[in-house]
Amino acid sequence: MAVHTIHKISSEGIGYSLADLSDVRHVFAAAVPRRGTTLREQADDALRIIETVNGAHGSLGSIVHQAVFVADASLIDECRQIMHEFYGPDLPATSYIPQRPCEGRLLAIEALGMGRKRGEAEIERISEQLVIVRHNGIAWVHAAYILPQTDSTGAYEQAASAFGQLRALLAGANVRVEQIVRTWLYLGGILAGEGTTQRYKELNRARSDFYEGLAFLDGRLPPGHPRPVYPASTGIGAEGRGISMGAIALVTERPDIVAVPLENPRQTAAYNYAGSYSPKSPKFSRAMALSCGDYATIFISGTASITHSETRHPGDPAAQTHETLDNIAALIAEENLAHHGLPGLGTSLDGLGLARVYVKRQEDYARIRAVCEERLGELPTIYALADVCRPELLVEIEGMALSHKAPSPQPRDKAPQGTASKKAKVKSQK
């Protein structure tokens, strides 16, 4: 079982966690504005929170990836301008997501900072869409806010175009699609009908077609690992009728870096769903574990109140939240990690470094948050309004877990030969 080495603080709209894995420090921050009425005032407050946290616990200028949740898509252009002004040349890869923060603010920000405890990681900022972090022979490639280049409003055409843009963006940095470990797919009108089908089903069809023939993580998998293999992913609703994407890829030549897609013992693999859910099943793994010796990072896909392939607790947001967290706990547990060939690297909900909670209905927010705070404690968490991929699902949760294998117990010194018999002799003489 892994040991927990994450320090977490969360209160009054400020949440952050720190984790040192090997010589790399991870800083996760979630910021909801505490003051201000205009977008600029609220954005300034949230950004100052992140700057303060990162300056105190990471290193200034080390934010590499952020997600900005906005109350309305019409605010994105102004929000982008604010981000450019604030960060300047240190702008992270930034996604702008039209999902209203549940707290009623105009925006909320989730940020990831990475740096080394001794010296700095090398950060290459190619654009606001692409940032690469290099350390110890590993390159983390953060791609954000990938948009389709098409006039079509059809989900299949939009998704196919966006996937093509993602491929081109990565190729410009000599990164292949097959090296992706985590994706985010934000689809406007996810449950809306489209012709005789549904927009989410059309997204799944486009993803299946795009992934056809791709050997994900070839060379990173344990020997003999079965295929198919797919990245961890979240497919979630957003305002409007558009689509945007984000991704993280891993590039390394180190033979000790192993990628292991995780499936959940409580759930059917999504790519094995029956055709009644989608003619072409959702192609993603429930999580992706990346191990390096005694350390692991686990990207947890969007998870909901589903066991096997059936929705549980329809109409009950609190029960759905508990079921969702039970699924995540089972997914990252030691028993499941050992089953997937990573003994000692399992963890619990305490091992989470951050989470996102997607809430379908504003009226359920308080009940869902209460369950999350009870189960997750102090954890940087974003709560955003978003439609989930089934009409009866009221909540979806994703996150990232970090684990460190407990050191092997040291054998006790053996007693010198004859000691036991001498003790027995002394005792007998008393």
Across 344-362, average pLDDT = 97
In tens, the pLDDT along 100-154 reads 999 999 999 999 998 655 556 799 999 999 999 998 899 999 999 999 999 999 9
Both structure tokens of 410: 């040291």
Please state the pTM of the whole predicted model.
0.92
CA 205/CA 280 separation, integer angstroms: 5
What pLDDT does 416 receive? Answer: 45
The pLDDT-based confidence of 346 (bands split at 50, 70, 90) is: very high
Short-list 298, 293, 305, 286, CA closest to 352: 298
- Read off the tokens for 113: 């900072």
Tens of pLDDT along 106-115?
999 999 998 6
- What value, to the nearest 5°, has the Cα angle with vertex 26 and ends 231 and 22? 90
Q: Would you list the domain boundaries of the chain? A: 2-408
C-alpha distances in Å from residue 239, one per residue of 171, 191, 201, 244, 356: 30, 12, 18, 11, 17
Q: What percent of the chain has pLDDT over 70?
A: 90
Which of 59-63, 165-169, 209-213, 298-302 shows the lowest mean pLDDT across its residues?
Answer: 59-63
Taking residues 38-58, what's their average pLDDT? 88
Does the annotation count 396 as an active-site position?
yes
SS3 305: coil
384 by DSSP, 3-state: which? strand
**Active-site residue, from 128, 323, 396, 398:** 396
Is residue 187 over pLDDT 90?
Answer: yes
